[in-house]
Structure 1
Amino acid sequence: MHDRAGTVALPEDLIDPEALVAAYYDLHPDVTDPEQKVIFGTSGHRGSSFNSAFNEDHILAITQAIVEYRAGQGITGPLFLGRDTHGLSLPAERSALEVLAANGVTVWTDSRHSWTPTPAVSHAILKYNREGHDDQADGIVVTPSHNPPADGGFKYNPPHGGPADSDATSWIANRANELIAAGLEGVKRAEPTPAGTYDFRENYVADLGNVIDMEAIAASKIHIGADPLGGASVEYWSLIGERYGLNLTVVNETVDPRWAFMTLDWDGKIRMDCSSPYAMASLIERRHDFDISTGNDADADRHGVVTPDAGLMNPNHYLAVAIQYLYSRREHWRPDAAIGKTLVSSSMIDRVAGSLGRTLWEVPVGFKWFVPGLIDGSVGFGGEESAGASFLRFDGSVWTTDKDGILLALLASEILAVTGRTPSQHYAELVAEFGDPVYQRVDAPATKAQKAQLAKLSGDDITADTLAGDPITAKLSHAPGNGAAIGGVKVTTDRAWFAARPSGTEDVYKIYAESFVGEEHLREVQAEAKRIVDAALGA
């Protein structure tokens, strides 16, 4: 823990935006260096221009690869292009536009020449493809999500509107690295021609009444505080308040590529993580000024919920409350609509699902797994432990197939308006009924070889038969919901579980663990988890 975690950034913590953009154009990656290659994680390619991990060469090559990929898939409709408020997002958008123009791709950018949240791009893609055109649309969002100010990000959303699957991202990354290695030969560039425009904000905000009970929120007159954390949702929240007559205050309307107003995260970095009590310290301090307050990260695909009685809610706690509320009140959802969760989310969700009589659909980490179910209505809600989720419209049809932090923030206000109790008070009721789980993620060192081995482990490689004194009930290497490999292992008992997965960026593996017994039991689970995994890895 950094000694200034939760305190406002100082001048020495801030980046130089001009130097950042200069490095974007001046530095050129060496793709023989793994740290400088194009690598698509669960949310696209990310990195900083300062260390040659996110530079113009990357974006030109990735965009050309996306052009070739969409051509191979027969995608001929418009491409919706959005960006967030990071300092590298605007230059990356300009680079992408050059390649798209040279390849004859019809691009629709924001009509206000402004920032666009990830869920607004997903919403736009789905809206176009639902309208019965002869072609299909897809999209690009230029964002590193909650990452520090020096980072840039670039992600592709195919016609289903959600994150591209691993087959698509692997192909795009491999082709992009080939193009960079060839000195960008094969990359077409041209001066961007006047592109089509699309009012992302108007179309998204105008449709919110079909997924959130905005009338109930307005009638309740609850005072809402919305903190965009300097991100792409800043102008959306003001319009939401005006359009629906809400008693809503945008807590901070500042947009600054340095994020000088942010409080430092746990490790002393500026990070727009709305699920972190350190990054959200300013809003937590003002929690008594509002009946409910919420935060979003830079591209608004994540949410943070702050209540006067409890402060910042743990994301797992809020997901459980959201599920309990939605499945009790969305009467037009399919009666067999499952509850989607990632396998490292709290097992409190399992208990809530059981009480609702709903099927629990447990999938590997990554929001992409929820996309098919959200599209056909067979999954009513899909949520990740890292504060990302989306759910269906009132009529049971798809809203977005990417994470929507604005939606989940508004749901917190709906819950308070309709029930008269905050989400944290609802969670206290769940604890009284099901117990009080303790959840934490920690990291353990691992070499690259060990990480590769962990990703391929089978449940059969786990020789232990007990965990923290309890019999092991399952040893999983594939998700129960869809049978997909989890890239690690999960071990469960009746009172606890742990999951171990390799980090994609650091020489560590991540141990997620939860206990329904208490803190001391959780520490036992974590310690035994490390011993169990190290034994399986031969460490």
Structure 2
Amino acid sequence: MTERAGTFATDDDLVDIDSLIAAYYELKPDPEVASQRVAFGTSGHRGSSLNTAFNENHIAATTQAIVEYRASIGVEGPLFLGADTHALSAPARTTALDVLVGNKVHVLVDEFDDFVPTPALSHAILLYNNDPAHHDRADGIIITPSHNPPSDGGFKYNPPHGGPADSDATTWIADRANALIEGGLTEVKRAEPSAVDTYDFRGSYVDDLANIIDMDAIKNSGIRIGADPLGGASVHYWQAIADRYDLDLTVVNPLVDPTWRFMTLDWDGKIRMDPSSPSAMASVLQHQGDYDILTGNDADADRHGIVTPDAGLMNPNHFLAVAVEYLYQHRTGWNPDAAVGKTLVSSSMIDRVAASLDRTLWEVPVGFKWFVPGLVDGSVGFGGEESAGASFLRMDGTVWTTDKDGILLCLLAAEIRAVTGTSPSQLYAQLTERFGAPAYRRIDAAASTEQKAILKKLDGDSIRATELAGEQITAKLSHAPGNDAAIGGVKVVTENAWFAARPSGTEDVYKIYAESFRGAEHLEQVLTEAKSIVDAALKG
């Protein structure tokens, strides 16, 4: 961690917006260079124009590929198009719009030319497709690199189910986009739009919140809420929520600036809009005692940060556990068999809460896309991941969003405080009294490209160890228990601890996530032995 973590950004930390936009148009990717090719991770294609990783050719080719993909699966309805507050989002939106119009796709953009949070786009797609009056299907594109630095851009496709596209779709789209770039974009159709139809993303989303959150309870409780959009796409949504439901809600920082000069630096000295990071949220935490619930969102509002007067910024794992405990006791309209969904690197506290509720735990690989089927059919009531992303069902047990919804989880924190009279952090303390207090941490370990490839395909049987930090190993997993999907790494479990190892998609490291219910010292032992166990498996 840098010494400057948690301090305000200076002029030297800020990206030159003019240079960033100029590079978007001027730099042309070389398809022979791996870092300059279109590549979809768990949340779309991301990169900076300054590194020739997110430029006009990328977006034109990717949009054309999406047009062809949606046609191949029979999607003939409108395509919802939204963008966040990153500087590269605006030119990327213009490029995408030109290609969509050139291909005669019916595009819907925001009615007020506002920024569009990721959950609002997912919500719009699902509302359209669940309307019996519509006989075609809609999909969408959201332009955002999420919480990544101001120099980055991101481009994500959400098919008709409303959530992140699966790997089959993204592989097809990326391969086709790279082929189009290699062909000099001669097959890309473009036309300057004369007029485009619009959709009220904000009004539709805000008005519908009463069907998933007990807004009356929040209002009647009189609790004071502070919401910091962190310069992101939720900025006008929070004020609209306050006005629509007559809440004592203050938008703590309504500023939007593509340099994010008002942010405090993250752990590594970079500007990053991560609402789960104490360093990035340092300026927000200055208001900790001013509100009963204080919240933060990242640039596209798919992540949440929850701040309470008594404990400050909650660890995302802690709030997810509290959310599960509360929701499954207060949502009587849900399917009584609705499972609790979590990614396999999320805290085992969720496992213990689910067991106490007599609910099935549905554990899936990293990536919110895995929760989509369960949220759509109501068989999963809640899906959450340790990186502060989650969504859940409406009061009546039907789908709300199939992408992460940071605004929703912030409002849930307010509902929990209003209904129980207790802060979410205090409720988590009660959980630790019942189930123990886990220690959780993630570290990085060096790994070559070849080693990362081996780890990604490693089988659980390749782990020779029988003990971990003094406990018998009870499971060695290479596929998730919930859906038997490959986890792209391994997870090793004991009675009171576990670790998971996954290769990084962008750096020469692999990530080790670990947790112990036997304290911080035992956790360090788990982490040390985890690295030895994985390194031994990589050597074969």
Would you say 1:12 and 2:18 are equivalent positions? no
What is aligned with 2:168? 167
What is aligned with 1:219? 220
| Cα distance, 1:193 vs structure 2 | 3.1
Q: For 2:428, what is the secondary structure of its paired residue?
A: helix
Q: How does 1:343-422 map to 2 (within 5 A)?
A: 343-422=344-423
Checking the alignment, whether the CA contact within 8 Å between 1:101 and 1:193 is kept in structure 2 is no
Cα-to-partner distance string for 1:257-283 (whole Å, 9 max, x where unaligned): 000000000000000000000000011
Distance (whole Å) between structure 1 residues aligned to residue 481 and residue 130 of structure 2: 31
Distance (whole Å) between structure 2 residues aligned to residue 340 and residue 443 of structure 1: 26
Q: How does 1:95-494 map to 2 (within 5 A)?
A: 95-132=95-132, 133-494=134-495
Kindly provide the amino acid, as one letter, of the partner of residue 362 in structure 1. E
TM-score of the superposition, structure 2-length normalised?
0.99
Distance (whole Å) between structure 1 residues aligned to residue 195 and residue 469 of structure 2: 63
Runs of 4 or more consecutive aligned structure 1 residues displaced over 4 Å after TM superposition: none
Cα-to-partner distance string for 1:344-395 (whole Å, 9 max, x where unaligned): 0000000000000000000000000000000000000000100000000000
| Cα distance, 1:250 vs structure 2 | 0.2
| Cα distance, 1:151 vs structure 2 | 0.1
Kindly provide the amino acid, as one letter, of the partner of residue 209 in structure 1. A
Kindly provide the amino acid, as one letter, of the partner of residue 55 in structure 2. N
The CA RMSD over aligned residues, in Å, is 0.6
Would you say 1:526 and 2:530 are equivalent positions? no
Cα-to-partner distance string for 1:219-268 (whole Å, 9 max, x where unaligned): 01100000000000000000000100100000000000000000000000
| Cα distance, 1:285 vs structure 2 | 1.6
Structure 2 gap segments, 5+ residues each:
none
Kindly provide the amino acid, as one letter, of the partner of residue 174 in structure 2. A
Distance (whole Å) between structure 1 residues aligned to residue 285 and residue 469 of structure 2: 35
Kindly provide the amino acid, as one letter, of the partner of residue 502 in structure 1. P
Cα-to-partner distance string for 1:297-331 (whole Å, 9 max, x where unaligned): 00000000000000000000000000000001100
What is aligned with 2:45? 45
| Cα distance, 1:119 vs structure 2 | 0.3
TM-score of the superposition, structure 1-length normalised?
1.00
Kindly provide the amino acid, as one letter, of the partner of residue 524 in structure 2. R
Kindly provide the amino acid, as one letter, of the partner of residue 115 in structure 2. W
Distance (whole Å) between structure 1 residues aligned to residue 420 and residue 198 of structure 2: 41
Checking the alignment, whether the CA contact within 8 Å between 1:294 and 1:306 is kept in structure 2 is yes
Kindly provide the amino acid, as one letter, of the partner of residue 13 in structure 2. D
Distance (whole Å) between structure 2 residues aligned to residue 311 and residue 31 of structure 1: 47
Distance (whole Å) between structure 2 residues aligned to residue 344 and residue 68 of structure 1: 35
Distance (whole Å) between structure 2 residues aligned to residue 489 and residue 354 of structure 1: 24
Structure 1 gap segments, 5+ residues each:
none
| Cα distance, 1:3 vs structure 2 | 1.0
Kindly provide the amino acid, as one letter, of the partner of residue 198 in structure 2. T
| Cα distance, 1:182 vs structure 2 | 1.1
Distance (whole Å) between structure 2 residues aligned to residue 153 and residue 517 of structure 1: 40
Q: For 1:207, what is the secondary structure of its paired residue?
A: helix
Distance (whole Å) between structure 2 residues aligned to residue 13 and residue 188 of structure 1: 38
Kindly provide the amino acid, as one letter, of the partner of residue 17 in structure 1. I
Cα-to-partner distance string for 1:409-442 (whole Å, 9 max, x where unaligned): 0000000000000000000000000000000110
Distance (whole Å) between structure 2 residues aligned to residue 193 and residue 276 of structure 1: 43
Would you say 1:24 and 2:24 are equivalent positions? yes
Distance (whole Å) between structure 2 residues aligned to residue 515 and residue 122 of structure 1: 36
Distance (whole Å) between structure 1 residues aligned to residue 473 and residue 193 of structure 2: 59
Distance (whole Å) between structure 2 residues aligned to residue 221 and residue 68 of structure 1: 51
Distance (whole Å) between structure 2 residues aligned to residue 324 and residue 520 of structure 1: 28
Distance (whole Å) between structure 1 residues aligned to residue 194 and residue 101 of structure 2: 6
| Cα distance, 1:340 vs structure 2 | 0.2
Distance (whole Å) between structure 1 residues aligned to residue 112 and residue 289 of structure 2: 35
Distance (whole Å) between structure 2 residues aligned to residue 98 and residue 141 of structure 1: 15
Q: How does 1:53-72 map to 2 (within 5 A)?
A: 53-72=53-72
Q: For 2:484, what is the secondary structure of its paired residue?
A: coil
Distance (whole Å) between structure 2 residues aligned to residue 227 and residue 85 of structure 1: 14
Distance (whole Å) between structure 2 residues aligned to residue 64 and residue 73 of structure 1: 15
| Aligned residue pairs, count | 539
Distance (whole Å) between structure 2 residues aligned to residue 20 and residue 113 of structure 1: 22
What is aligned with 2:3? 3
Q: For 2:230, what is the secondary structure of its paired residue?
A: coil
Kindly provide the amino acid, as one letter, of the partner of residue 442 in structure 1. I
